[in-house]
Amino acid sequence: MSGNSLRCTRAAHHRVAVPPRQWFTSFPQGRKPPWSPGTRSTYFGRPISVSDNDSSATVRVHRRWSALAATTGRRHVRPYLAILRGVLGGDLPVPPAFEAVASWAGAERVVRAAASDLATWRVPEPQKEALITCGVPLIDDLVDAVSFSAEPAMYRLASRNNEVADVIWEYGATPGSGEVLQLGLPDGSACFVNSTINHWLCSLHLVGSWLTGSTVIGHWDEDGQAEEEALAELGDLLEQIRALDPPAGGDGDHRTHFWPAVLDRWLY
């Protein structure tokens, strides 16, 4: 897919109407889910616990965009998203631990900010802390360089610099909310990426860990079955991003939304 396909507009982002969604995550019968009362588990390398006072093994959280439910039962679907949204974060997801990101990116390819780098940034403290403790992973063709700097209207986070493919852009966070945008598009526009820095770091972790672990994406064009499997994986990954941050997935149109465009690029 060409660089032009990654162009989108803020106006297009705001036109998208994302209906409420509900996810059900469960474990096979007879197995105790990691978020059952009295248990401890981990998500993105961070410890998770659920109180024994909970009368059921159900954790629910409702946001303005979506609802996510985790229940015990017969199927096992995306427990990590249930733990992230249901137990940890409320409206702001907890980013992955540095060790979890380094496990697939390599420790030398995860860049963490110093507190002094963010001293003048006007974003919520949890988002600053995420950049300091978690860091930003380098991902080929997605994040090529990380640099933290403050400008009057934007805080710069990272960039994608592939001059050979003529695809160059920057990631910036807006003062106040920490909303992450794609900057430096040829027409001068900015494209919505994620609702906050924390959502962005979680999305990078989802995409990066999938990319390094996929057994089909490297040879998707060998035959029809490989292509179908790759398409299924990419579709599932987009649903994970949408469950985490619904505006980031939008209606799935790669012409107007950043993450659908990025995932589409790996095939076409």
Give the model confidence (pLDDT) of 38-62 as tens digits: 333 333 444 433 333 333 222 222 2
**DSSP summary character for residue 116:** G
Higher pLDDT residue, 219 or 195? 195
**DSSP summary character for residue 177:** T
Mean pLDDT calculated for residue range 127-150: 96
pLDDT at 11 over 90: no
Pull the structure tokens for residue 140: 């080929």
Q: What is the pLDDT of residues 254-268, one digit of tens each?
A: 778 999 998 887 665
Can you tell me the distance from the alpha carbon of 17 to that of 10, in angstroms, rounded to the nearest whole number? 14
Can you tell me the distance from the alpha carbon of 50 to that of 68, in angstroms, rounded to the nearest whole number? 16
Domain count, the chain: 1
Q: Answer yes or no: is 188 within a domain.
A: no
pLDDT at 111 over 80: yes
Q: Answer yes or no: is 78 within a domain.
A: yes
| pLDDT at residue number 228 | 86
Q: Answer yes or no: is 55 within a domain.
A: yes
Mean of pLDDT over the chain: 71
Q: Do 106 and 72 form a contact (C-beta atoms < 8 A)?
A: no
| pLDDT at residue number 242 | 93
Distance, CA of 193 to chain centre: 9
Give the list of residues 6+ apart from residue 16 with CB closer than 8 angstroms, or none. Answer: 247, 250, 251, 256, 257
Q: Answer yes or no: is 3 within a domain.
A: no
Query: Could you tell me the pLDDT band of residue 162, with boundaries at 50, 70 and 90?
Result: low
The candidate with the shortest Cα–Cα distance to 39, out of 25, 54, 24, is: 54
**Percent of the chain residues past pLDDT 90, beyond the cut:** 41
Q: Answer yes or no: is 80 within a domain.
A: yes
| pLDDT at residue number 6 | 42
Q: Answer yes or no: is 199 within a domain.
A: no
Can you tell me the distance from the alpha carbon of 189 to that of 170, in angstroms, rounded to the nearest whole number? 12
Q: Which residue has the tokens 């007879």?
A: 30
Can you tell me the distance from the alpha carbon of 139 to that of 136, in angstroms, rounded to the nearest whole number? 9
Q: Answer yes or no: is 42 within a domain.
A: yes
Q: Which residue has the tokens 């002094």?
A: 116
Full residue range of the structural domain in which residue 67 is found: 22-89
Q: Answer yes or no: is 165 within a domain.
A: no
Can you tell me the distance from the alpha carbon of 132 to that of 242, in angstroms, rounded to the nearest whole number? 25
